[in-house]
Amino acid sequence: MNLKRYRVNNIKEALKFIKRDLGSDAMIVSTRQVKENTGAFGLFGKTMLEVTASASEKKKDNRSSVPATKALETYGGSSETSETVLADTFLTPRNKSVLSVRDETRKMMLPIQKELQGIRITLGDLSSQSDGLDKHLMGELKHELGEMRHMMHILATHTGSITEPDLPENLLLLYQQMKFSGMEERFSRRLVMEAQLNMTTEDIENFAYVKIFIARMLMKIIKITRGMEGLKSPQKIVALLGPTGVGKTTTLAKIASEQMLKYKRKVALISVDTNHSSAAEQIRSFAKKIKAPFSVVKYKAEMNRIIDSYESYDSIIIDTDGCSQRNEKQLYEMREIFDERGRIHNALVLSATSKDSDMSEVTRKFG
């Protein structure tokens, strides 16, 4: 079999190369996301779509195939069409339909649902029997319950409808790109439907214009607050919380610079360093450059004492250790330190490139 791989920005670009090299009857075998030009340490790479295609071959067993001309309509590089399902559809004699895939997924979910229900019952019984139950044990059980719920969410996503809406080509392409990037299906579908209602046929034919139009729709939907300026208290105290690697330390540096240069405020910096991370040293170095006081905190009592010592400062910005949304112990420790709701404003930091499902989980756990 003549297989060729293409690394492209989107499925439309892939189809152009596939038809040129392998003909209009070529078959798409698989699609997956890959990083390109990642550098020496695997950083800063660009996300590309890798498409594997095969030239059409007439076989006696009449294997099921989807020509390249129909691939966009049928699969479109959707994140909900897994590489395994694609390969199985193209390369085996069995012609599995979408319905059969859903049925198999539902069968996989049944034992997980039973186990999930069992964990819930166990947790309820333990809670009612003893208030003094070991917190670590309860934390482990809750962590397992969270993992099961996460797995159920992933499986439930694959049982949903994977049919594409009836849209003009450019809107359909953008819809597929949004889903491929991790946006929830209902949001991406609503965006393109609204765009279709508010755009002329001529505008829809211009792909660049369609992207700009939908980007502007998103900008109108997403509410942007005034940040620290929106806080009513005279002394503004903000703690930056969130998972590892989302940019909390960088965000702290940007906010501190804005407070000092734009608003001419006296700024103090605090780092909650319970895991001896390097972030505290980075902030210490930054604090020296901007001539701001800096303190490291490990316990709640220290936090209260240091905030009191910064009484004369207009703004206090607090950086925290990266904390996984699935680590109940770390979350509990963080809540213990930031339990003073009226005094410290907690701000959750998220990566704009995260999938909707990941953002929802992080928001729920940190909330």
Q: What is the mean pLDDT of residues 201-212?
A: 90
Q: Which amino acid is at 182?
A: G
Check whether 70 has a pLDDT greater than 80.
no
- Specify the pLDDT at position 290: 92
Q: Write out the H or E segment, with its range, that includes residue 45.
A: none
Of 188 and 145, which is predicted with more confidence? Answer: 188
| Cα–Cα distance measured from residue 13 to residue 50, given in angstroms and rounded to the nearest whole number | 11
Tell me the DSSP string of 271-290: EE-SS--THHHHHHHHHHHH
- Specify the pLDDT at position 213: 92
Q: Hey, is 15 helix, strand or coil?
A: helix
| Cα–Cα distance measured from residue 342 to residue 195, given in angstroms and rounded to the nearest whole number | 42
Span between the terminal Cα atoms of the chain, in Å:
52
- Specify the pLDDT at position 266: 94
Check whether 117 has a pLDDT greater than 60.
yes
| Cα–Cα distance measured from residue 45 to residue 38, given in angstroms and rounded to the nearest whole number | 4
**What confidence tier does 317 reach under pLDDT thresholds 50, 70, 90?**
very high
The 10 Å Cβ neighbour count of residue 131 is 6
- Please, which residues have CB within 8 angstroms of residue 218's CB and are 6 or more apart in sequence? 191
| Cα–Cα distance measured from residue 57 to residue 113, given in angstroms and rounded to the nearest whole number | 43
Lowest mean pLDDT among 59-63, 68-72, 123-127, 279-283: 59-63
Using CA atoms, how far residue 327 sits from 144, 189, 332, 333, 366, in Å, is 10, 33, 9, 10, 11
